[in-house]
Amino acid sequence: RMKRAFDSNGYVILFKADIFKSDSIAAQFIFELMCYDVSEIPPVFMLEQHEKSFISNLMQEIWRENNQENPLKNEIILGHLNIILLLCLRTMPKQEHNPSAEQQIYRKFRQLLQKQFRSLKKVKDYSAILNISDKQLNETVKKHTGQL
């Protein structure tokens, strides 16, 4: 369920993240968004008017392609999605090119959590994989989630 303002408008596209090659920029961007809580990175992208128009046109093309039986339609839709995701990525604050050791630990933890949450339940399981103490993992997560 999505909460939104009464007068808001936009598009929602449902797709599986694994449609992108795992090493693509779009796949990494989606993974980063999935791994963070909305309070950490709000899923709202502020676009310039020309970008809004461009994305709106792409969305209409996706709709048109999806409702036709053309060869390569899935590849065309995927190409349009890639462009949309890259435009959204471009609007996000610049990430540090050399993240600190703590930032790297937090990112690796979130990746592990996303992939292993069904099988790994305890802090000690994650800290063992990350080669750090339980206390260090707890403090890192608290710091990055604003709960310190």
140 vs 148: CA distance, rounded Å = 9
Q: Given a cut of 90, is residue 33 above it in pLDDT?
A: no
Share of the chain above pLDDT 70, in %: 79
The more confident residue out of 7 and 17 is 7
Q: How many CB atoms lie within 10 A of CB 32?
A: 16
Residue 77 burial (CB count, 10 A): 20
Cα 128 to chain centroid, rounded: 26
Q: Write the DSSP string, 50-112.
A: HHHHHHHHHHHHHHHHHTS--TTHHHHHHHHHHHHHHHHHHHSPPPPSS--HHHHHHHHHHHH
> What pLDDT was estimated at residue 97?
47
Q: Please, which residues have CB within 8 angstroms of residue 54's CB and are 6 or more apart in sequence? A: 87
SS3 state of residue 42: coil
pLDDT of residue 102: 85
Contact 101, 132 (CB under 8 A): no
**Given this model, what pLDDT does residue 101 score?**
84
Determine if the pTM surpasses 0.85: no
Judged against a pLDDT cut of 60, whether residue 123 lies above it is answered with: yes
C-alpha distance across the termini of the chain, in Å:
30
Report residue 76 as tokens.
Answer: 């065309």
The band of 141, judged by pLDDT with boundaries at 50, 70 and 90, is confident
